[in-house]
Amino acid sequence: MLQSYSQISGWGKYVPEKRLTNFDLEKMVDTSHEWIVQRTGIEERRVAAKGETGGDMALAASRQALETAGLKPTDLDLIIVATSTPDYFVPALSSTLQAALGATCPAFTVMTGCTGFVYGLVTGHQFIATGAFKRILVVGVELITPFLDWEDRNTCVLFGDGAGAVVLTPSPGPRGVLAFDLGSNGELGHNLILEGGGGANPMSHQMIDNGQHYLKMNGREVFKFATRILPQSTQAVLNNAGMGLDDIDLIIPHQANARIIDLAVRYLKIDPKKVFVNVNKYGNTSAASIPIALVEAIEQGRVKPDDKIALVSFGAGLTWASAVVQWGVAVPPSNGRVAAETVPVEVVAAS
C-alpha cells in the first residue's frame, strides 16, 4: 500500500486583544494576584470582545496558517476543528469555518476538550499516511469565557480564549507525526463538566437558575489526574516512537497550570529549558493551548528543521493525547506569516 509521511507546513494563531489580568480579577471575585500565580502560574488571559466568536478566531488563525503554507483555501482537502465551545450545536464550527474561508472540502469537528488539537493532528496524519488527502487544516479554538461563572474563583481564573491552526501536507521522508498516545477514562468525566444545554439536561429556566450552563471542575481530582497522566503519556509516546527523552528537542505540554507542568518536569527529570511554557500569558485555552504554544515557539526561534517535538495534553473526558512530531520545514525569520519552504509533495512507498 502506498503511504506518505505528514509534515506541518503552515501555522498561525489568534488571541483576542483584551487582556484580563489577575489584578482585574481581584475586583471581580474573591481572589488575589499572588493566590492565582502561586497555584497556577497564570498572570493574565485573553477574553474575546463582545460579538467575537470562536469562528472569527478560527478564521484568523487559519488564514495565517494557509498563508504560511503558501496555500489557498480551495487547495484544502479536509478541515478538522477541535473545540468544546462551538458557536452553535448545529451547524458544526468546522462547516461555518469552511464557508468563511471559501474552502470546498469536507470538514468535521473533534470534541475531546483540551486534548482536541492533538486528536485532530493525529487524525489528519492518518488521512495523509494512507494517501487519501494531501492538504489538511487542523484548528484548535475555544471561546470559553462565556461559559465561566465569574463568581467562582476555582474556574474563572484559569481559562482564556484563543485559536491556533496548522496545515498538514505530505512529506517524502519521516516527518510530522512519528508516534502518538491517545486515551480516555470516562469514569472520571464528571470532574470537568458543563451539565446544562445538552440532551441529558436540556435548556430551561431551572437549569440556568441552577448555574448548570457554566463549566464546573473538581480541581483537586483534575490536578491529581493531570500530574499522573502527563508524565505517563509522555513516556508512552516516546516508547511508541522508539525514543528517549534525550532524543526530544522541545516538549510543548498543554498549558493548563504551571504547577502541573513543573511536577511533570521534575518527575521525568527533564531539563526545564526543553519545555515551552506560556500559560502565564494566556491561561488555559483548552484545545487552542498547544497550537498557540507551538506557534509562539516557532516565533521565538525554538523550532528548527529536523527537531523532534513532543506535544502532550490532558483534558475533559477525562482524556489524554500525545504525539511526537519531527519538524520538516524551514522556519521563516519573521512572525510566521510568509510562505515556508517545504519539501516536495509526493506519495512514497511504505518501508
Catalytic positions:
114, 254, 284
Q: How far is CA 205 from the centre of its chain?
A: 33
C-alpha cell, 219: 480541581
CA separation for the pair 296, 300 (Å, rounded): 6
Q: Within 13 Å, how many C-alpha atoms sit on residue 238's CB side?
A: 20
Which residues are bridge partners to 322 per DSSP? Answer: 181, 312
* Other CB atoms within 10 Å distance of the CB of residue 177: 25
Q: Is the peptide bond before 91 cis (omega within 30 degrees of 0)?
A: yes
Distance (Å, rounded) from C-alpha 314 to C-alpha 234?
11
The total of other beta-carbon atoms located within 10 Å of residue 288's CB is: 36
Burial (CB < 10 A; 0-12, 13-18, 19+), residue 70, is middle
Round to whole Å and give the CA distance between 304 and 56. Answer: 30
Eight-state DSSP code of residue 347 = -
78 pairs with which residues across the strands? Answer: 136
Q: Coil, strand or helix: which one is 171? A: strand
User: Helix or strand or coil: residue 179?
Assistant: strand
The answer to whether 141 touches 292, Cβ cutoff 8 Å, is no
Angstrom distances, CA of residue 325 to CA of 54, 71, 168? 27, 22, 12
Reference 11, options 171, 159, 176; nearest CA is: 176
CB burial of residue 31 (10 Å; 0-12, 13-18, 19+): middle
